[in-house]
Amino acid sequence: MPIEFYQGRPLKPEELETIRHQIEQFDTIDPEMRGIVKRNWPHLISKLPPEDDVGDTRRRLMVNRVTWKQVGLVREPGRYMLRFGWVTVTADDLQVWSLFPDATFALYEVGGAESKDEYRLGSVDLHTPSSDAPP
């Protein structure tokens, strides 16, 4: 496979593999990413959202919390491509999700990152039965 670039940065083979696995979860996709999919996995083009839905995903970021399911039930710490940018998941984040699978994490943008769409997981809402009960 040729070296692919996204947002001016070369993608590692494991990042391409992550994109391939997560492509069905995208609800928007920019033209640059669409080109990567066309060149590497043409059979997945039909799974992409229509081209008229393409837009600036940073403007369309409506998500401010994510669940384990939304990041693909990942099992390893790492950097994962989601529909709005890259999210870094740490071993500590995974430990929380292993104990509280319905927990949600706040997203925060990483300042000074090489990419403008870099996020980390922040504060957590555990969604335990006691936290869902009325006061």
Whether 83 contacts 26, CB under 8 Å: yes
Instruction: Indicate the domain borders of the chain.
Output: 1-55, 56-135
Among candidate residues 58, 64, 71, 62, the one with its CA nearest the CA of residue 30:
58
pLDDT for position 62: 45
- Helix, strand and coil content of the chain, in percent to the nearest 5, comes to 35, 25, 40
* Digit-coded pLDDT (tens) for 4-34: 887 778 888 888 777 766 665 565 666 777 7
Confidence of residue 77 (pLDDT cuts 50, 70, 90): very high
- CA–CA distance, 47 with 26 (Å, rounded to integer): 9
The angle formed by the CA atoms of residues 79, 8 and 117, to the nearest 5 degrees, is: 45
pLDDT for position 54: 41
Helix boundaries (H) for the chain: 13-22, 31-40, 91-99, 129-132
Kindly report the backbone phi and psi dihedral angles of residue 121, in degrees, each rounded to the nearest multiple of 5, phi listed first: -90, 135
Q: Is 30 exposed, middle or buried (0-12, 13-18, 19+ CB in 10 A)?
A: middle
Whether 119 contacts 85, CB under 8 Å: yes
pTM of the model as a whole: 0.51
- CA–CA distance, 104 with 120 (Å, rounded to integer): 13
Report helix, strand or coil for 6: strand
Query: Token pair of 54, please?
Result: 């393409």
